[in-house]
Amino acid sequence: MSDKGAHERYTQVVAEITARRVETDIDPSTDRVRALLDLLGEPQRAYRSIHLTGTNGKTSTARMIDALLRERQLRVGRYTSPHLRTMRERIVIDGEPVSEERFVAAYDDIRPYVDMVDAGSDVPLSFFEVLTAMAYAVFADTPVDVAVVEVGMGGSWDATNVIDADVAVVTPIAIDHTEYLPDSVEGIAEEKAGIIKPGSVVVLAQQQLPAAEVLLRRAAETGAQVAREGMEFGVLHREIAVGGQQLSVKGLRGGYEGVFLPLFGSFQAGNAATAIAAVEAFAAPGEGDDGLDPELVATALAGVDSPGRLEIVRTSPTVLVDAAHNPAGMAASAATLEEAFGFSRLVGVVAIMADKDVEGILEPLEPLLAEVVVTRNSSPRSLSPDRLREIAEPIFGAERVHVAQRLDDAIDMGVTLAEETGEFGGTGVLVTGSVVTAGDAIHLVKGGQ
């Protein structure tokens, strides 16, 4: 098949998968994906795994865990969601998304079994269930030594939760997805605690007390060992550095000094400490072992990136793209902007999904933004710009809110507004509000780079 033909086939496969029930069309059960994996010979049992849940920080932490494991010369599969630019980003081998050819081959391999499960069920397999089975099958076929798996949503009934991971990681829990998950931190924690399995180690990032109580109770019920940020591990010291931050981290079995992390914010420092603890727990060093090689840790984390997480996609003026899409995530991003960037004038370009806590997402931005351009992203779930303006005006004041019906026009308007003062340097544009907004913006600004 020609390169053009192969790409066309890939595009067709993506369209077929996308046409299935979307990730937000939830039918809470792992029965369908388990049936599919049973037909495939249970590929998820062919390797060890680390499973991540939480509200914010999952993908960044997964990328750090992946980097640390690969630095230990392990072959690593990573499954995360959602994607920013291409569906292939979700299934990663040794730090690189699978090729279009491999993605198509994986789909073609499982497609007959997908049809069988669909035929035997009142509810067809979803977009996410099919991709999860593809990822698990690719990891077994490679084969990988370890899979780093991020839940899609929740925990107990998430399609990924057919693995019995050696290590369960819970990043900070906050209220999000309340149309699908409970509307309290305790309720969300109950659902996410479902990834904690008997005999595993659970690594808990800093949690609100109600969430911590739920997670610790689940760990006690399952006999899982517990490692808590701020107790058994954590960030001892950090300071801003050019292009990121310098960290000192207390691990579970060792200390790691002078670690450079090329990402901004205290939350990313916490993610790094959580990743180190997860890999220490996975490695399970013997008695007397000092932990991971400090040089290994430093090398792995120095090479980490986290696309769409306060990512600089243009300079003069600086254009930042951030995927924050809930109040807790936006508050963390806002604090990082104040700490690490110090813009004299910052303009926001915001597109948010209609089913989100829009006011809660906008409010942390109010002290930071000189002006804001409200718009829409490419998702049909995106809130209309006119409705977003109605919500934004009481927060920012009508004179600071502008409307653009298209994201490309909104970014252009944001750049113009940022440069309005005629100042050289110190001005910026923040494009944020959704993972889809971030992905769309990266595509628009960086194009085919």
Segment 78-118, tens digit of pLDDT? 999 999 999 999 999 999 999 999 999 999 999 999 999 99
Percentage of the chain exceeding pLDDT 70: 94
For the residues 369-384, what does the mean pLDDT come to?
Answer: 97
Question: Is pLDDT above 60 for 181?
Answer: no
pLDDT of amino acid 6: 87
Question: Is pLDDT above 60 for 287?
Answer: no
Please name which of 46, 42, 112, 53 lies closest in space to residue 79, comparing C-alpha atoms.
Answer: 53
pLDDT of amino acid 304: 97
pLDDT of amino acid 348: 98
Q: Rounded CA gap, 12 and 443, in Å?
A: 21
Query: Is the separation of the CB atoms in 238 and 248 below 8 Å?
Result: yes
pLDDT of amino acid 174: 85
Give 123-151 as a DSSP string: SPPPHHHHHHHHHHHHHHHTT-SEEEEE-
pLDDT of amino acid 179: 56
pLDDT of amino acid 193: 96
Alpha helices in 397-434 (DSSP H): 407-418
For the residues 160-188, what does the mean pLDDT come to?
Answer: 83
Q: Rounded CA gap, 306 and 322, in Å?
A: 10
pLDDT of amino acid 424: 57
pLDDT category at 447 given cuts 50, 70, 90 is confident
pLDDT of amino acid 153: 86
- CA–chain centroid gap for 197, Å, is 22
* HEC readout, 273-290: HHHHHHHHHHHCCCCCCC
pLDDT category at 176 given cuts 50, 70, 90 is low
Q: Rounded CA gap, 242 and 274, in Å?
A: 23
Give 175-233 as a DSSP string: ---TTTS-SSHHHHHHHHGGG--TT-EEEE-S--HHHHHHHHHHHHHHT-EEEEBTTTB
Question: Is pLDDT above 50 for 288?
Answer: no
pLDDT category at 147 given cuts 50, 70, 90 is very high
Structure tokens at 72: 């230990």
pLDDT of amino acid 426: 87
Structure tokens at 383: 């809130």
For the residues 351-371, what does the mean pLDDT come to?
Answer: 97
**Residue 82 three-state SS:** coil
For the residues 289-298, what does the mean pLDDT come to?
Answer: 88
SS3 content of the chain, % helix, strand, coil (to 5): 45, 20, 40
pLDDT digits (tens, 9 = 90+) for 201-252: 999 999 999 999 999 999 999 999 999 999 999 999 999 999 999 999 999 9
pLDDT of amino acid 441: 97
Domains and CATH numbers, the chain: 3-303 (3.40.1190.10), 311-446 (3.90.190.20)
Question: Is pLDDT above 70 for 423?
Answer: no
CB atoms within 10 A of CB 151: 25
For the residues 164-183, what does the mean pLDDT come to?
Answer: 78
Q: Which of 2-6, 162-166, 407-411 has the lowest mean pLDDT?
A: 2-6
pLDDT, mean over the chain: 93
Give 351-397 as a DSSP string: --BTTS-HHHHHGGGTTT-SEEEE---SSTTBPPHHHHHHHHHHHH-
pLDDT digits (tens, 9 = 90+) for 31-45: 999 999 999 999 999
pLDDT of amino acid 286: 47
Question: Is pLDDT above 60 for 444?
Answer: yes
CB atoms within 10 A of CB 424: 9
Cis peptide before 327 (omega within 30 of 0): no
What does pTM read for this prediction? 0.94
pLDDT category at 22 given cuts 50, 70, 90 is low
pLDDT of amino acid 3: 76
For the residues 176-200, what does the mean pLDDT come to?
Answer: 81
